[in-house]
Amino acid sequence: MKQRLWLKLARVILTLVAGLFFCVVSATCQDSSEEGTISRGSRAELAITVLDANGQIITSTATVKVYSNGILTDQSSTSGGRAFFVVRGLGEFTVAVEASGYKTVQKDVTVSSAIRAQIDIILPRDTSANETVGVPAGPVLAPKAKEELVKGLQALRENKLDEAQKHIGAALKLAPSNPEVLYVQGILYMKGSNWAKAQSVLETSSQLDPNQARIFSALGMAYCNQKKYKQAIPPLEKALQLDAKSGWETTWSLAKAYYYDQQYDQALKMAEQARADAHGAAPQVDLLYAQCLAAAGRYDDAAEVLRTFLKNNPGNPDTAMAQRWLDGLAANGKIHTQTNPTP
């Protein structure tokens, strides 16, 4: 099984995720008992045999799915460890097999002529006590689309946005309904501050794959950057439900959305979480935290956070704003002005 390299690269860009919809292309599936009763004519056939690590046929029922360009085209259950598919057209396919007690395996297959392709899929035992068995695998990409996406991600990492758009656009043409490709396109739009376009493709991506925290996180951020704070709350909450460790960017964005939606208690709680997640690496988190403390009436605590921010970030472009906030608290009588002690 090929490594899904593009998933690893995507996590570097943003540690950033509702029914799973596929454009299903009609194809004929036949069981071994029907062999010879349905003519495949000039079409190719995939004959799948599911084996364990010792090379023995797995007789328990397994689910076999066939993808073309990342789109699910057919699926069936094995009978006696075998499943048969008559596919429309030639080219590259991906076969994914799931069975209870075994790890899910995907295998890329190239069919170049109208013949029966014998394919053995070996499933290793799932020995993880904490791993859920039988959870469907996410949509997969055919090799060409995967190659374009990997190149696009690499260009995105290097901030070569034009080159990234070239490769990601090619991947979209090959797999227009793949949620991972749409997600990366959304990240590219965000890099270019095209928030409305990012929102559109990320909404589609989240509908196609409702189980990816990073997609919902990115969608919530796209809303926040358009000041659509109330709309940002549900996807950001969903991201944290799917992955409580989505990162400080997610918790900070949700705190910001709560704050501007005047949900101050929730905002303060989430801002505190964002500070813990950031480990001091994101000064902007402290500024939002100070705002939330002030909104909760904790003016002295807010002032202390602002003073610490000014002390630790002298060259930060937000220092002038932080000083104005601190001066405003003093001018409004919320805090006492600090004076240097007499030596």
Do the Cβ atoms of 229 and 257 come closer than 8 Å? yes
Interatomic CA distance for residues 249 and 153, integer angstroms: 20
Nearest to 28 by CA among 46, 8, 16, 53: 46
Interatomic CA distance for residues 113 and 196, integer angstroms: 44
User: Is the per-residue pLDDT at 11 higher than 60?
Assistant: no
Phi, psi at 254, each rounded to 5°: -70, -40
What does the pLDDT read at residue 38? 34
User: Is the per-residue pLDDT at 108 higher than 60?
Assistant: yes
Q: Residue 75: which H helix or E strand, with range?
A: strand 71-77
DSSP 156-179: HHTT-HHHHHHHHHHHHHH-TT-H
Do the Cβ atoms of 55 and 241 come closer than 8 Å? no
Domains of the chain: 21-123 (2.60.40.10), 138-242 (1.25.40.10), 247-336 (1.25.40.10)
Q: Which two tokens stand for residue 159?
A: 């901030």
What does the pLDDT read at residue 129? 33
Interatomic CA distance for residues 244 and 228, integer angstroms: 23
Q: If pLDDT is split at 50, 70 and 90, which confidence band does 338 have?
A: low
Question: How, if at all, do strands 62-68 and 71-77 pair?
Answer: antiparallel
pLDDT digits (tens, 9 = 90+) for 89-107: 888 888 889 888 888 888 8
* pTM across the whole model: 0.64
